[in-house]
Amino acid sequence: MVAAVDGGFLSVANNRVSILSERIELGEEIHVDRARAELEEARGLIGANDEAEKRVRRAEARLRAAEKVSSGVGH
C-alpha cells in the first residue's frame, strides 16, 4: 500500500506502523495527470502566500504516491 499523508504523526513499534493524520489518500485514488497539474499550479504560487510551500509539498507527496502505484512499486 502507498499513501500520501498530510499533517499528523507516524509511529513504528513492534513491527507495526501507526499513522495519525489529518488527511490520507491512497495512491490508487490519485490521478497522476491531475496530481502533476496540481503540483505545477502550486509551484506557480510560491512567493504569493505563506501556504504555497505547504501546497507544493502536499502536491509532491500526492504525485509520488500516484506514480509509485502506477509503476507497480506499491503493489
pLDDT at 62: 92
pLDDT at 10: 86
- Residues found in the chain: 75
Output the pTM of the full model: 0.74
**Beta strand extents in the chain (DSSP E only):** 3-13, 16-26
13 or 50: which leads in pLDDT: 13
pLDDT at 52: 87
Q: Residue 27 — pLDDT band, cuts 50, 70, 90?
A: very high
pLDDT at 73: 62
The domain spans of the chain are 3-70
pLDDT for 46 beyond 90: no
Alpha helix ranges (H) inside the chain:
32-44, 52-70
